[in-house]
Every structure is written in structure tokens, then in C-alpha cells.
Amino acid sequence: MTRPHTPTLDLIDLPSDLNGLSDAQLRTVADELRAETISTVSETGGHLGAGLGVVELTVALHAVFDAPKDKIIWDVSHQCYPHKILTGRRDRIRTLRQKDGLSGFTKRSESPYDCFGAAHSSTSISAALGFAVARDLGGEGGDAIAVIGDGSMSAGMAYEALNNAGHLKKRLIVILNDNEMSIAPPVGAMSSYLSRLYAGDPFQEFKAAAKGAVSFLPEPFQEGAKRAKDMLKHMTVGGTLFEELGFSYLGPIDGHDMEQLLSVLRTVKTRATGPILIHAITKKGKGYAEDRADRGHATGKFDVITGEQKKAVSNAPSYTSVFAEALVNAAAQDDKIVAVTAAMPDGTGLTKFMERFASRCFDVGIAEQHAVTFCAGLAAGGMKPFCTLYSTFLQRGYDQVVHDVAIQRLPVRFAIDRAGLVGADGATHAGSFDVAFLSNLPGFVVMAAADEAELVRMVATAVAHDDGPIAFRFPRGEGVGVDIPADAQPLEIGKGRMIREGSQVAILSFGTRLQEVEKACEALAAKGITPTVADARFAKPLDRDMILQLAADHDALITVEEGAVGGFGSHVAQLLAEAGVFDHGLKYRSMVLPDIFIDQSSPADMYDTAAMNAEHIEAKVLDVLGVGVIGKLA
């Protein structure tokens, strides 16, 4: 595709190259940077809207501050693509989210300009405060600037950091990137007026001027100022709250007005002494996707002219859509079923549930800790809550899972999406640990679906289960195309299923690696080897009888799971050891994710790195039987 014509941006290799440009040229850089970002994401896919919303802010920050000495920390870092283009990575920007390419998030090992890695939300203020304190204790110098969105500000961790920062009174700059409000012209005029006052006067004079400024504005502007104040009060992020926490508060300002941004940032840089919060109003998807419902949050490759996404055609539904339909069907029959998610109704499929049962579906914002305990309260109150989170985000609510759910044996149903390796989002979003950290908890039931039909049965199992917490996990992406039962029946708790009978070696699969196990068995059959295959279904409680029978009837047993060590295979090993099976010569192997964080690639490539695809399972069988392997698998 033809890249956009960017004569001014072509002059920028590093942020220091912005120093000699006029404010008008910086405005041009922003326009060209927006075009470059759109062009890039059209080829790579990724998070588009967030970056488009901070283009002007990115240019202004790098023009005013001196990165990497000054630490610019992007919360979540969905919005970091323009930052990467300006910080020496433009020549590689079209490798975003690809194998051996640039990460879709900030990553310390990738560039000194990525001073702090992120992919989960609400960490930036804590990290920035850490940099600020380290600076004042003789560590690396420079300012610390946290850029955090209004969505991320909904998480408790952000307020914990604000509270601590206000107490310590260190020089710290927080930019609240508020992209949820639409700015009417009067509000924009008001913020412009206040920013001009601020740029010309010291802090204390600015505060006094701001309080009296409204009465001197023309009547239409007075109404706009009142609306701005009311909106801020409604969101509980007005100046009063931040000032009570110890911050000097400035805003709202127009985050797309380069003149305002440069004026305010330059003044903050020269005059700030303690913590200050700048409230900037922006439009997510600015200049391209701002009229779309999702503002271009996440997208596949697309045509820049038409906006049409280039998606692969599949005959199989996604696991997420299968789960969503099963839950909606169950909720139609049971009015006790409620669904809870943490800022991911689309990603978890709950949009369908929300449309059908609005009063029984709750998006609590980026607040996984609250989501878990909220579900615990719902369960204690007699409801059947489905706590629907990505595996990687459930990690953020683990103490609540232990303390508020497991110890009280409350029947919270955990629907765990994005289990296993997820592809382009890389290590930060991999669902690698949930089997291990849930199976360790007394009274928990932990399941993994091998295909779509099994997933539907697990939803039914969770609906029927009222004796303590229960979890089921399923991966990102499409299913395998099996028939889905119209009237799915609950599974018997702790009972697996036999897939095929064989001899010598048994393969016990947990989750969707079952498809790769089947492929491996087809290859092994050509060598005269016919393994027995079973689907465990449950990591807890284990199907003790089935596992011990497999051990008794075979020379070797291999477990396969899409999770880290300490999960399903470790529990099977404990069972076998306690039963004394190893004393009788059983050969046991456990195939788990390796003890590394695997960088982004396609899921197939990531599982290749993890040595968990069909050829690796085949090699494991040959090895345990002493047949030997050849080539790179040896």
C-alpha cells in the first residue's frame, strides 16, 4: 500500500529532533503522525483508536520534555504507537504485534524510551511515583509523567497511587486523558481561556483567577463552564477531589489543541513543585474512527479508504460467541443468572447478554478486584453470578478469589476467556497461570473445554453447581466445528471421558490441545503406535479412578495442558505419587508451557515455541516409549 506523504515527520528520527521546530510545524508533525499511525495499523492490525486520541499529546510531550531522561509512562499503552514512531522505531513500526517485531505495548527491553512496560491498566501513576521518589533519592534524574485514561482511572490502584503521591508531595505530573466526554464549543472555549490564564500566571494566581473567571465570560460561555463543572462533578473527577488528594488540578483542556497543550506543558515543566494533574479532553479514534461505536479500539488489518476489516473466513464459531449464546440461553430459563465483566462486554461476549437482560448484566469498569467480590456478594444474596474475565485479568483479583469466594465457599461461576497463548498481544495477555492458581484452592472446581460442545456443557455445569466456586476456561479464536448440542446436560463433577482406546501409552489432555493430540495420534498410527487418549475435563477434582486406571493399563502416561507448571499435570503427578504408582515403573511426562514469557506471534507459532503442537506431542510419545526422534525434535 502507498504510505502517506509525510515531509515534516520524515525529519524526525528521535524526539530531540522536535526541539528546533516551530509550534506550527509541530502541528504538522501531529497531522502526519496520525496519517502514519492509520496507515501502519491498516497493515498490522492492533489498537488504533487510543493512539489516534493522543497524537497531539504525544507530540507535545516529546517536544516539551526530554525523554528518555524524563520518564513518559503510558498507562496500558494501547496508545503507544505514535510514541514508538517518534522514538526511533518508525522503520520497524509495520512489524507491530508480529513475530520478532515490535510489541503492541511499551516494553523496556525494546527501547530506552519505553521506561516502563505495560499492557494491563492503572499502573502508570504508581510507576511514575516510583521514578519520582527514586530521582529524589539519588537515582535517575528527570521528570516522571504518567498518561492515564479515564477508564483506567476507574481502578482502585490508580486512587491508591494518587493518595500516596499526594501524601509524599513529590514533583509528579499526571495527565488524565479523558476520551469519554464530547466537548461542546462553549466548554472548549472555557478550557482555552483557563489555559491561557494558567500559561501566564503562577500557580497560586491561576487558582484565584480560575475561581473568578466564570463571571467575566459572555453568557453562553458561562453556561458552558457550568456544564463542564457539572460533568466533572458527575464523574467525581473534578478539581476538588484531586486537590483533596494533594494534587494541583488543571483542566479540562482540549487535548487536540496543540497551542493549549504546549502552553500548559511548558508552564508545568518550569513551575511545578509538587504533584499536578492535567485533565485533557480527547476523542478516541480522532481523525479516522471517532464516529465508530468502538472508536477503533482494536482492529484487524483494514482498508484505509473504506475502513473494511480483512478477516479470515471461518465456518466455526468463536469460543467466546459459543459461551455467550449458551449463557443467554441459560439465563432465559433461570432468572437467578447474572453476568459481570470488567470493562470488556464486547471481548467477553456479554454484549448479547446485556442487550437481552440489561438488569442482570454489570460492567463494573476496570476493577477486577471489585468484580470478584461483587460476584461473591451476589452469590451470598442468592443469585448465580458468572464472573466473566480474561485469564490474564483474573490475576488482578486473585486475593478476592481466595478471601471472598473460596474461603466462604460461595458459588461464583468464573468464565475464563483467552485461556492459553493468545497471539499478537504476547506475554502480557497470555492465559498461562489460572489453572495453577485456582486448582490450589480448596473447594474449587476447575474445568477446561476441549471444544465448543464441551464448553456449552460446562456452562450448564456451572449453572447447576451450587456447592462452592467453579471455573471453566476456553481459548481465544474459533472452535473446531463440532456439533453443539441443543440441550446440553451438565457434566458429572470430576469425571473425564475416554476419546480412544489404545495401548502402551496414554495421553491425558486438559483443554483444547486435544485437537493436537488427535493429530499426533494420526501420525503415530502410521508408525504402528496407537495411544489411548482421554479428555480430563477437570483439573480439580481430578477423575481419580480414570487416571489410576490409565496408569495401571499402560507403560507410560503423558499429560498435556495449555498452562504453566504447577497446574493440571502437577496435580496428576501428586495423585500418582500418593497412590504409589511410580513404584511400579510407570513412565510419566507432563507437557506444560515452558518457564519463559513467550513473545507475540501467531498462536500456532507460540505453541511451536512452547513445544506443544502435534509434532511435539508425537515426539514425546516416541521418546517415552524409547523409539527415538529425529531432526530438530530430537
Read out DSSP for 76-111?
S-TT-HHHHIIIIIGGGGGGTTSTTS--SS--TTT-
- Fold of the domain built from segment(s) 497-633: Rossmann fold (3.40.50)
Q: Do the beta carbons of residue 321 and residue 351 sit within 8 Å?
A: no
Kindly state the DSSP code that residue 406 receives in the 8-state scheme. Answer: I
Angstrom CA distances, 543 to 228, 479, 534, stand at: 60, 25, 11
Contacts within 8 Å (CB) and 24+ apart, 455-459 = 455/319, 455/322, 455/323, 455/326, 455/479, 456/322, 456/326, 456/484, 456/485, 456/488, 457/485, 457/488, 457/489, 457/490, 457/491, 458/491, 459/323, 459/326, 459/327, 459/330, 459/415, 459/488
Instruction: Tell me which of 4 and 208 has the higher pLDDT.
Output: 4
Tens-digit pLDDT profile for residues 265-322: 999 999 999 999 999 999 998 988 887 777 778 788 888 888 888 776 677 899 999 9
Q: In angstroms, rounded to a whole number, what is the distance separating the alpha carbons of residues 202 and 197?
A: 9
Q: In angstroms, rounded to a whole number, what is the distance separating the alpha carbons of residues 479 and 322?
A: 9
Q: Name 616's Cβ contacts closer than 8 Å, sequence gap at least 6.
A: 591, 608, 633
Q: In angstroms, rounded to a whole number, what is the distance separating the alpha carbons of residues 402 and 274?
A: 38
Q: What is the per-residue pLDDT for 628?
A: 60
Instruction: List the grid coordinates of 405.
Output: 469466594
Q: Do the beta carbons of residue 418 and residue 390 sit within 8 Å?
A: yes
Q: Name 464's Cβ contacts closer than 8 Å, sequence gap at least 6.
A: 490
Q: Name 489's Cβ contacts closer than 8 Å, sequence gap at least 6.
A: 457, 460
How many CB atoms lie under 10 A from the CB of residue 481? 12
Q: Name 486's Cβ contacts closer than 8 Å, sequence gap at least 6.
A: none
In the chain, the largest separation of any two C-alpha atoms, in whole Å, equals 91
Q: What is the per-residue pLDDT for 251?
A: 81
Kindly state the DSSP code that residue 153 receives in the 8-state scheme. Answer: G
Q: 242-251, 270-279, 490-499, 518-527: which has the minimum mean pLDDT?
A: 242-251
121 is in an annotated binding site: yes
Three-state DSSP at 1 gives: coil
Q: What is the per-residue pLDDT for 393?
A: 96
Q: Do the beta carbons of residue 148 and residue 255 sit within 8 Å?
A: no
Tens-digit pLDDT profile for residues 462-512: 999 999 999 999 999 999 999 998 889 999 999 999 999 999 999 999 999
How many CB atoms lie under 10 A from the CB of residue 407? 12
368 is in an annotated binding site: yes
Q: What is the per-residue pLDDT for 221?
A: 46
Three-state DSSP at 516 gives: helix
Instruction: Tell me which of 229 and 116 has the higher pLDDT.
Output: 116
In 381-433, alpha helices (H):
391-394, 398-400
Q: Do the beta carbons of residue 522 and residue 615 sit within 8 Å?
A: no
Instruction: List the grid coordinates of 407.
Output: 474461603
120 is in an annotated binding site: yes
Which CATH number applies to 9-281: 3.40.50.970, 3.40.50.880, 3.30.930.10, 1.10.10.10? 3.40.50.970
Q: In angstroms, rounded to a whole number, what is the distance separating the alpha carbons of residues 40 and 33?
A: 10
CATH class in words for 319-473: alpha beta
- Cβ burial of 626 (10 Å; 0-12, 13-18, 19+) is exposed
Instruction: List the grid coordinates of 317.
Output: 464459531
114 is in an annotated binding site: no
Average pLDDT, the chain: 89
Q: Mean pLDDT over residues 601-609, rounded?
A: 94
Strands of 565-621 (E only): list them.
587-593
Q: What pairs with residue 339 in β-bridges?
A: 361, 386
- Element at 189 (helix H, strand E): helix 185-200
Q: Name 578's Cβ contacts closer than 8 Å, sequence gap at least 6.
A: none
Q: In angstroms, rounded to a whole number, what is the distance separating the alpha carbons of residues 413 and 141?
A: 48
Q: In angstroms, rounded to a whole number, what is the distance separating the alpha carbons of residues 455 and 327?
A: 11
Q: In angstroms, rounded to a whole number, what is the distance separating the alpha carbons of residues 182 and 155?
A: 22
Q: 199-203, 244-248, 570-574, 595-599: which has the minimum mean pLDDT?
A: 199-203
Return the CA Rg of the chain.
Answer: 27
163 is in an annotated binding site: no
Q: In angstroms, rounded to a whole number, what is the distance separating the alpha carbons of residues 389 and 368?
A: 8
Terminal CA-CA length for the chain: 43
Q: Is 3 a catalytic residue?
A: no
Q: What is the per-residue pLDDT for 632?
A: 36
In this chain, the answer to whether the domains covering 9-281 and 319-473 adopt an identical fold is yes
Q: Name 549's Cβ contacts closer than 8 Å, sequence gap at least 6.
A: none
Q: Is 286 a catalytic residue?
A: no
Which amino acid, 380? A
Domains of the chain, residue spans: 9-281, 319-473, 497-633
Instruction: List the grid coordinates of 44.
Output: 498490522
Instruction: Tell me which of 212 and 570 has the higher pLDDT.
Output: 570
Name the active-site residue from 368, 454, 516, 562.
368
Q: Mean pLDDT over residues 408-428, rounded?
A: 95
Name the active-site residue from 84, 97, 396, 620.
396
631 is in an annotated binding site: no
HEC per residue, 218-263: CHHHHHHHHHHHHHHHHHCCCHHHHHHCCCEEEEEEECCCHHHHHH
- Count of alpha carbons within 13 angstroms of residue 343, beta-carbon side: 19
Instruction: List the grid coordinates of 386.
Output: 458468572
User: Is pLDDT at 192 greater than 60 in this prediction?
Assistant: no
Q: 13-22, 180-189, 432-441: which has the minimum mean pLDDT?
A: 180-189
Q: In angstroms, rounded to a whole number, what is the distance separating the alpha carbons of residues 8 and 26?
A: 9
Q: In angstroms, rounded to a whole number, what is the distance separating the alpha carbons of residues 27 and 16?
A: 16
Tens-digit pLDDT profile for residues 81-95: 999 999 999 999 999
Q: Is 325 a catalytic residue?
A: no
* Torsion angle of C-alpha atoms 506, 508, 509, 515, degrees rounded to 10: 20
Q: In angstroms, rounded to a whole number, what is the distance separating the alpha carbons of residues 612 and 604?
A: 9
How many CB atoms lie under 10 A from the CB of residue 7? 8
Q: What is the per-residue pLDDT for 240?
A: 66
Name the active-site residue from 284, 286, 295, 360.
284
- Cβ burial of 552 (10 Å; 0-12, 13-18, 19+) is exposed
Spatial CA neighbour of 305 closest among 42, 51, 32, 37:
42
Q: Do the beta carbons of residue 147 and residue 172 sit within 8 Å?
A: no
Q: Do the beta carbons of residue 423 and residue 99 sit within 8 Å?
A: no
113 is in an annotated binding site: no
Q: Do the beta carbons of residue 242 and residue 250 sit within 8 Å?
A: no
Q: In angstroms, rounded to a whole number, what is the distance separating the alpha carbons of residues 394 and 396?
A: 5
Q: Do the beta carbons of residue 457 and residue 493 sit within 8 Å?
A: no
Q: In angstroms, rounded to a whole number, what is the distance separating the alpha carbons of residues 426 and 207?
A: 45
Q: What is the per-residue pLDDT for 189?
A: 42
